Amino acid sequence: MNPRRTATPKLIGFVFQSFNLIPTLTSSENVAVPLILNGTPKIEAEKKAAELLCTLGLPDKVDTSPQELSGGQQQRVAIARGCIHHPKLIVCDEPTAYLDHETGKKVMEILKKTALKEDRAIIVVTHDPRIVEFADRIVHMEDGRIVG
């Protein structure tokens, strides 16, 4: 087996702007996917996923399918999925796009806490000026070019 192929799910987490949740899975099953891919038993993975969903304010949505969730709830499930396996790098595309101010702040605090661990980094692409206070470094882009 190719070691690079098996190592990738452990190293990188993604939070997509369009969520990319699997419609046939519940919220906790969606969040558990990276853990299961990394060899965690399904029952243990879903338990950890449910705990993280509770932390993100979704205790009553653990067994809910993505179609039954609001955009903000889907975003929190996607964020949980990107963080659950403690990757060294998390890449986020508009992680607060569908979230109200308080939920967005809570999500960014969780991401910042993750980023402060040794050998960890988070890259956030956003138009949301509320995220600036959480950044260690800011790069401005315009038309695909760095401008500041």
Provide the pLDDT confidence category of residue 7 given band limits of 50, 70 and 90.
very low
pLDDT in tens, 108-117: 888 888 888 8
**Are the beta carbons of 94 and 125 closer than 8 angstroms?**
yes
- DSSP for 34-90, please give it: HHHHTT--HHHHHHHHHHHHHHTT-GGGTT--GGGS-HHHHHHHHHHHHHTT--SEE
Give the pTM.
0.84
Give the residue-averaged pLDDT of 110-139. Answer: 88
* Backbone phi and psi for residue 119, each to the nearest 5 degrees, phi listed first: 60, 35
**113-147 as b/e, with b when 16 or more CB fall inside 10 Å?**
ebbeeeeeebebebeeeebeebeeeeeeeeeeeee
pLDDT in tens, 35-93: 999 999 999 999 999 999 999 899 999 999 999 999 989 999 999 999 999 899 999 99
CA distance 136 to 4: 29
**Are the beta carbons of 65 and 21 closer than 8 angstroms?**
no
Q: Which residue has the higher pLDDT, 5 or 131?
A: 131
The two three-digit tokens of residue 50, written as one number: 């449910």
Task: Give me the residue spans of the domains in the chain.
Answer: 3-146
Give the residue-averaged pLDDT of 122-140. Answer: 90
With pLDDT > 90 as the criterion, what percentage of the chain qualifies? 61
> Is 14 a residue whose pLDDT tops 80?
yes
**What is the reported pLDDT for 90?**
93
Residues in contact with 64: Cβ distance below 8 Å, sequence separation at least 6, in sequence order: 26, 27
CATH, domain range 3-146:
3.40.50.300
**What is the reported pLDDT for 17?**
87
**Are the beta carbons of 91 and 15 closer than 8 angstroms?**
yes
Give the residue-averaged pLDDT of 21-31. Answer: 98
Beta-sheet pairing, 89-93 with 121-125 = parallel
Residues in contact with 134: Cβ distance below 8 Å, sequence separation at least 6, in sequence order: 108, 109, 111, 112
